[in-house]
Amino acid sequence: MQNKSLVSGPRPVLISAHVTEDGYMSIAKEIAPHLPYLRRFARALSGTQAGGDAYVVAMLEALILDPSSFPRDLNPRVGLYSIFLKLWSSVGLNVAPGGQAELDRSSAERNLEALTPRPRQAFLLRTVEGFSIEEVAQIMDVSPSEAAGLVQTAGQEIAEQVATDVLIIEDEPIIALDIETMVEELGHTVTGVARTHREAIALVAKKRPGLVLADIQLADGSSGLDAVNEILASIDVPVIFITAYPERLLTGDRPEPAFLITKPFQPEAVKAAISQALFFDRRAGRKAA
User: In whole angstroms, what is the distance from residue 40 CA to residue 32 CA?
Assistant: 14
Q: What is the pLDDT of residue 159?
A: 77
Q: What is the pLDDT of residue 83?
A: 94
Residue 32, SS3 per DSSP: helix
Q: How many CA atoms lie less than 13 Å away from 200 in the CB half-sphere?
A: 30
Q: What is the pLDDT of residues 193-205, one digit of tens each?
A: 999 999 999 999 9
Q: What is the pLDDT of residues 56-112, one digit of tens each?
A: 999 998 888 888 889 888 999 999 999 999 988 876 544 444 443 443 445 555 555
Residues 199, 200, 206, 207, CA torsion sign: positive
User: In whole angstroms, what is the distance from residue 154 CA to residue 186 CA?
Assistant: 10
Q: Residue 257 carries which DSSP code? A: -
Q: What is the pLDDT of residue 47?
A: 72
Give the gyration radius of the chain's Cα atoms.
22
Percentage of the chain exceeding pLDDT 70 = 77
Q: What is the pLDDT of residues 246-276, one digit of tens each?
A: 887 776 554 556 688 889 888 878 888 888 7
Residue 166, SS3 per DSSP: strand
Strands 14-15 and 4-5: antiparallel
Mean pLDDT of the chain: 80
Mean pLDDT of 221-226: 88
Percentage of the chain exceeding pLDDT 90 = 39
